Structure 1
């Protein structure tokens, strides 16, 4: 059974997508969708990274694009100091 929700994706363009979610009552992952697994270097035993092991209760690749969102024009944002530049010793009230 699918448990669908709407999310926003940002690559390659902002798009609303419909995606599957993990089963909230899953006994294996407790609704998280999987487990992080830390692993170490074989020779030194030092920490080498973390891998994500997805739970079989959902498919994280199951998603459908619904609506591409329009691109907003880039604006030059300039900060204008309302007090004209430096600091003031006046109280803010």
Structure 2
């Protein structure tokens, strides 16, 4: 088992300790799974890709280390066109 620290954003921000695939695994070459493409049985054209996890890795093995605090409401962005520091957002008027 190889562990790493990762940031999770769902259900809330937290630091978690998670398992990583074995880098010397002969089945998946350290990727953690095997992907294969499949086609439509009638037309034979590409229809999608499936991914099967490898046995060297358990993607559901994770432990919560530290819940991270939420950003204060007044610091959150309201959208792309607003400034988080100014209460009214951007202005089209020149600054002088």
Give me the TM-score of the superposition, normalised by structure 2: 0.75
The residue number in structure 2 matching 1:13 is: 12
Q: Does 1:27 align with 2:33?
A: no
Q: Does 1:71 align with 2:70?
A: yes
The residue number in structure 2 matching 1:40 is: 39
Number of residue pairs the alignment of both structures matches: 83
Q: 1:70: how far off?
A: 0.7
- The structure with the larger Rg is 1
Give me the TM-score of the superposition, normalised by structure 1: 0.77
The residue number in structure 2 matching 1:61 is: 60
State the distance in 1 between where 2:31 and 2:41 align. 29
- Is there any run of 5+ residues in structure 2 with no aligned partner, and where? 84-88
